[in-house]
Structure formats: structure tokens, C-alpha cells
Structure 1
Amino acid sequence: MEEFTIVGGGIAGASLGYHLKKHGHEVTIYDRNDAGNATAASAGIINPWVSQRRNKKWYRLVTEAAKFYPEFISRLERETHLDTGYTRRGAISLFKDDEVLELGYDRINKKRDGAPEMGGVMKLSREEVKQRHPYLNGSYPGVYVEGGAQVKGALLGAALKNAFISAGGEWVEEEAPAQAGDHLTIYATGAWGVEQDFGPAIRHQRSEVLHFKVEGPEVVNTPVVMALGPIYIVEMGDNEFAIGTTHIDTHSFDASPSEENHRYLRGLAERYFPDHEITDVKMMTGFKPYARDHLPFIGYHDDRTFVINGLGATGLTAGPYIGHEVARCLSGLGTGLDLNDYSHTEPEN
């Protein structure tokens, strides 16, 4: 048994603590619970196969993470008897016209050979999109990926915290003390990594999401929607949805909602749900951390300091799997992921 300190209780830090306890170690997590942490504000979309990013290291990470999710969630919910908000109703990517739809379908469908967990991939006419998501405006065709899923960050974080403490881990909601002793400290501090006087260099974006309610005669369960541009629409409850997100580079940690971004997101909600009355529920703000090449950093700073950061917009997809893999690495066990690919010692691949 070894002793570890984790600074940061977001999904990556909490998953690492949980999996280290599974290996029998003594673990303390320090978490300040800063306003604007990305875990609570993120949409939690698990649908990496539709991305157009060409970075092979990033794609290996997120596809392995998506494959890891179902068994991980099943075990966590069984242990804690808590709901993580994980649903697997598929995902629809919308396209502006039929010509672009064909290109999108060909690109996405080609990935099935290497990722059977995607399930079926099919083209949807405008009418078929409307059948799967009756609230949408029906203006766009789409590609449906059967394996697309969603998890609610706040619920997943609470379940991981519960499982960690139940396993004997210590969770301290305060500033971490200065590093002391000979044991390893792991920093999983997200956007607040800028406060550390060692690498990797971290920058962050401010992202805002609008939650709104749709007035409808019945409750409709819907797939995740990847709308035009970097926009998503996800179900958050009975006829409640979230639409986002904005992307603003910033040095600030002001988590106050922006009226300008509220107007922008409200306009998008009305555009995609034109035939239904919608009511605002809340705006949420999160700060997403990025490192070099938009790749996560996973590795040692020195022999007493390990860093996990820069997960960006894929934190909820990749965080649980990264925690699992790093726990195995720190326990002297083999990993399915080559962590050397994420220590930024090589150029982008």
C-alpha cells in the first residue's frame, strides 16, 4: 500500500482516487469546489466518433474512454445505489443539407470497423430526425449513431465521491497544504492549474450553457443532438434541455452568467424549437482547461509530482478512463493506454 494526495476533485481526480482505493492505497483528495468547475456545467456527451479532429492520440484516448463507460457506470451505480444520469439513447449529428449529409455519413460510418461500440450508423431524413426528436424544427437531415450517450457531470461526480469515501478515502473540501513528505501528489486542478508554478502551461475557456423547459403535452425521451456548428442540445430532465456552448478564451474566473451569451443561446433555443413555448431554467458557466495541442497532459513533473490536466471539452468523456489508467500505472500495473503519448515529449501526431 502506498500513500497518495490528489489536488482537485473533478471527474479525473475523483476517478483516480476511486480507482487507487480499489488497488488498496491510502488516498486523500483536496477539493476547493470552486465556482465554475467544468464537471457540473458540462453536457456530458459521450460520442467521440463523430469528431472531425485528426489527432490520433486524442482519438485513441476518447474512443477507449467511450468503450470503458458502460461497465464503469454499471459498477459505480451498483456500488453506490446512486444515479449518474448515464443514458444511451444515441446521438444525432445535424447537417445543413443532403450533400453535406452524405459526406458526414461516409466519414462517420468509416470509423465503425475500429469501434464496434458505436453500434448502428444511419442517415436520417428531416422527417426521421423529427420522429426521433419531436421538438426539433425539422429543417435538417442527420446521421444517427446508436452508441451515443450522455452522463450528468454533477451526478457522476457525487457518485464517485460517495464511492471513494465509502472505500475509506479522505475527501477534504479546502485548499491543499504545501507538499510535504515523500509520497506522490497528483494535481488534477483543471483550469486552476494556472495557479501552479510548474508545467504544463494551462489556459482556459469560459463556456456557458442555457437550461430551458419546453411546454409539451407529454414527456419525450430524446437522443443527444450535435447541431450545426459547435452547438449541442441535450436532455436534462422531463422536457428540460440544455443548449450550448459558448467558447471564450479568458484569464478570468468570474462565473457570473453573461447577458450577451444568454441572448445568443436563447436565440438558438428558439431557432431549434420554434414550435414550442420555452422557459428559461438557468444559465451555467464552466471553465475548460487546455494544454499544448489541445491534448491532455498526463505525466510526471518530478518524482513527487504528477499532473493530469488539459482535458478541455472531453473531460467527462475521458476523465473516468484516465483515472482508471493512471491508477493502474501508479500501482505498477500495465495500462491499455500508452500514457507516454500524453506527457508532451513528442510533437502532435
Structure 2
Amino acid sequence: MNITIIGGGLAGASAGYHLVKLGNNVTIYDRADKGQATFASAGIICPWVSQRRNKKWYRLVTASAHYYPEFISILEQETGMSTGYKNSGAICLFKENIFDKATKRISDKGIDNPDVGEVRQLTKDELSAMHPSITTEYPALIVEGGGQVRGRKLLAALKEAFIQHGGSWKNESYNENSDVNSLKIYTTGAWGTEQKYKPEIAHQRAEIMHFRLKNQENLQSPVVMALGPTYIVHLEKDEYVIGTTHIDTDSFDTSPTEESYNYLREELYKYFQPEDVEITEMGVGLKPYTRDFLPFIGYVDDNTFVVNGMGSTGLTASPYVGQQVARLISGLPAELDFDDYNYIEPQN
């Protein structure tokens, strides 16, 4: 088939990569808009700790996490490029009054899912050994199946592999009037508002703070899922990020705000001593959502397919979604039940 993909973020790049490997002729158009969600993603692969109760979402992200190790192994072997993928576990912090209940909730997820790995509570000494500079004020557990990936590196590797397999990547806007003979796949993220397809796409500003740990030993610390929506991710050497803010907006401005800087700085000082850290920069991404926070994946007409509304799920789910979309479009059996995600009305 001749296929045109509009949008070169992770979802578009993954779909393109898997489609060319199945023998299709694929061209990806990407405008490289500032604020692409990939570049402000923490990279945490640990969906089992979420308290979201949407079963369709949970089926998607757990299948996606299961696919990751195989996908990364093949991609890195094909390209010789690192994606920053590490299965180093995830530390989860809680308030004392809910710690035992949270431990049981997460442990129960592993009963029927070996991907979760061991879930166990950590002593303060064990926490300090894994993450020497972080506070031991809050009770902690480790989810050994948790991991992380670098969004920028993953996207670069997908682009390289896509081109190696014969795909065409164009860093330019797509002109619909010049292309009438191909199937079009829109993976335009926050800019999906330009296409006017249902369901409607909104977006949130997500800001993350980059910082250095001045006295941190050069060891790979697990990702930290801290209190509330806060996370802390070790990038490399002494470089870390803490995030994130979620601000509904109609704007595509990607300038960092003083309000978010101050909020994230306060969060940072909950977990580290001010004298141990050096704030280096802020990052801003625009994360697309549908009104019920479940990704839309499906045909909107006979010649147009849309993947959007991935939100904070995008980095976890995009490799698997791209593979499943490629199989569907190529007429091959797919594991994903697309009826769950090809919807217009809100889902319960």
C-alpha cells in the first residue's frame, strides 16, 4: 500500500516503522513543531501502579509494557543506537497511612501479570542504596518490572530504522491536495485540532524541570513515582528531571512559566536538600487528550486513519500501538481490539 503519515512523533514514527517492515510504501511528514509531547516525556514504563479504573486503557498500557523489551531489542540491534531503555525498576513513595494498602494494590496486579515483577517494601537503608540523595521521609516500595526510556533517543532510533527499511521522511508540511492516492494516517498530537476530526482533541501544557545532583554517585537510579502526580527520572550521569505540571490550554506557546518553575522547585525540595541540587533548565510539551482521556485509534473515513489523544500514555503505548495499527492496515491479525478505541462518544 501507499501510505502517508502526518506527524512524526512517537506514534507516527512507530506506525511508519512497522508498516515499512511489512512491505508498505510509507512517507512521513513532520513539521517539527515546538512542544512535541515526546520531548517533555519522563519516559517511565510502569503502568501497573496507576489507580485509573478504565479497563480499556489498562489493557492497552499493560500490553504496551509487555511489548517494550522485544521491541527495544530489535530496534537497537537494527540501528546500533541506544534508546536509553533500562529495566531498573520503579520506586514508589507514599504517605504512611496508605502505604500497606498501596503495596497490596500494586502487588495484586502482579498475580496474573509476570511483567510487574516483584513488589516489595524497602527499608530506609535499601532506598538510600538505590537512590542515595533522595529523602527517606516517605515509605517506599520497589516495582522491579518498572523501567524507563529516553523519548528523544527512542524517536531518533525509530526514524533511523524507518529510513533504513525504505521509508521516506520529509521535514515539511503535508499538502492534502497533492496526495489523493494514499491512505492517510494522522498522528498530529496537540495539532490534531487542525484536522477537525472527531473526537475533538484538546491539550495540556506539561512542564518538567531538569536538575543535577551535585554529589550523586554515577549509578543508575530507578525512576521514582513520588507523592501525587510527581515523578523523578534519572537521565544519565548526574542529570535528572522532575515533573510534571498539567495545565489545560488552547495556546501553543512553549515558553516555560514562572508559576510552573516555582511549583516544581517546591516539589524538588520535598525530596532533595536544596544544597544537593542544581536546577539547569525547564522543558515544555503539549500533550493531546480526548475529553475522556482514552486514546482514539481508528478510521474516521475509508481513506483516513487517526491515532491521537495519547496524553501521558504516549511514550508507553506508542511502540505497541504503531505495531498493531500496522498489522490492522496490512490486513494481518491484531491483538488490540480497535472497537475499544475507535469511538466518538465518551467511554465508561
Q: Considering the TM-score relative to the shorter chain, is it more than 0.5? A: yes
Q: Which amino acid aligns with 2:168?
A: E
Structure 1 residue 171: Cα displacement = 0.4
Please give the alpha-carbon distance, in whole angstroms, between the structure 2 residues aligned to 1:217 and 1:41.
23
The 5 Å alignment of 1:144-293 reads 144-179=142-177, 180-216=179-215, 218-274=217-273, 276-293=275-292
Please give the alpha-carbon distance, in whole angstroms, between the structure 1 residues aligned to 2:153 and 2:86.
12
Structure 1 residue 269: Cα displacement = 1.5
Please give the alpha-carbon distance, in whole angstroms, between the structure 2 residues aligned to 1:233 and 1:217.
14
Any conservation in 2 of the 1:214–1:276 contact (CA below 8 Å)? Answer: no
Find the counterpart in structure 1 of residue 52 from structure 2: 53
Any conservation in 2 of the 1:129–1:141 contact (CA below 8 Å)? Answer: no
SS in 2 for 1:114: coil
Greater Cα offset, 112-121 or 75-84: 112-121
Structure 1 residue 326: Cα displacement = 0.2
Please give the alpha-carbon distance, in whole angstroms, between the structure 2 residues aligned to 1:257 and 1:207.
10
Gaps of 5+ in 2: none
Structure 1 residue 172: Cα displacement = 0.5
Which digits, 9 at most, give the CA deviation of each residue in 1:302-334, with x for residues without a partner?
001100000010100000100000000000000
Structure 1 residue 113: Cα displacement = 2.1
Structure 1 residue 41: Cα displacement = 1.1
Structure 1 residue 345: Cα displacement = 5.3
Q: Which amino acid aligns with 2:292?
A: D
Structure 1 residue 135: Cα displacement = 1.1
SS in 2 for 1:294: coil
Please give the alpha-carbon distance, in whole angstroms, between the structure 1 residues aligned to 2:56 and 2:327.
19
Q: Pick from 130, 133, 143 the counterpart of residue 132 of structure 1.
A: 130
- 4+ long deviations beyond 4 Å: none
Q: Pick from 110, 115, 118 the counterpart of residue 117 of structure 1.
A: 115
Structure 1 residue 70: Cα displacement = 0.2
Find the counterpart in structure 1 of residue 305 from structure 2: 306
Which digits, 9 at most, give the CA deviation of each residue in 1:66-125, with x for residues without a partner?
00000100000000000101011100110011x311010110011112210111111123
Please give the alpha-carbon distance, in whole angstroms, between the structure 1 residues aligned to 2:207 and 2:220.
24
Please give the alpha-carbon distance, in whole angstroms, between the structure 2 residues aligned to 1:220 and 1:347.
44
Aligned residues: 347
Please give the alpha-carbon distance, in whole angstroms, between the structure 2 residues aligned to 1:346 and 1:271.
41
Q: 1:212 to 1:299 in 2, by over 3 A?
A: same
Greater Cα offset, 327-336 or 254-263: 254-263
Please give the alpha-carbon distance, in whole angstroms, between the structure 2 residues aligned to 1:85 and 1:178.
36
Please give the alpha-carbon distance, in whole angstroms, between the structure 2 residues aligned to 1:341 and 1:152.
29
Q: Which amino acid aligns with 2:269?
A: E
Greater Cα offset, 270-279 or 321-330: 270-279
SS in 1 for 2:134: coil
Any conservation in 2 of the 1:216–1:276 contact (CA below 8 Å)? Answer: no
Structure 1 residue 129: Cα displacement = 2.1
Which digits, 9 at most, give the CA deviation of each residue in 1:20-57, with x for residues without a partner?
00100000000011100000110010000000000000
Give the TM-score normalised by the residue count of structure 2: 0.97
Any conservation in 2 of the 1:194–1:201 contact (CA below 8 Å)? Answer: yes
Give the TM-score normalised by the residue count of structure 1: 0.97
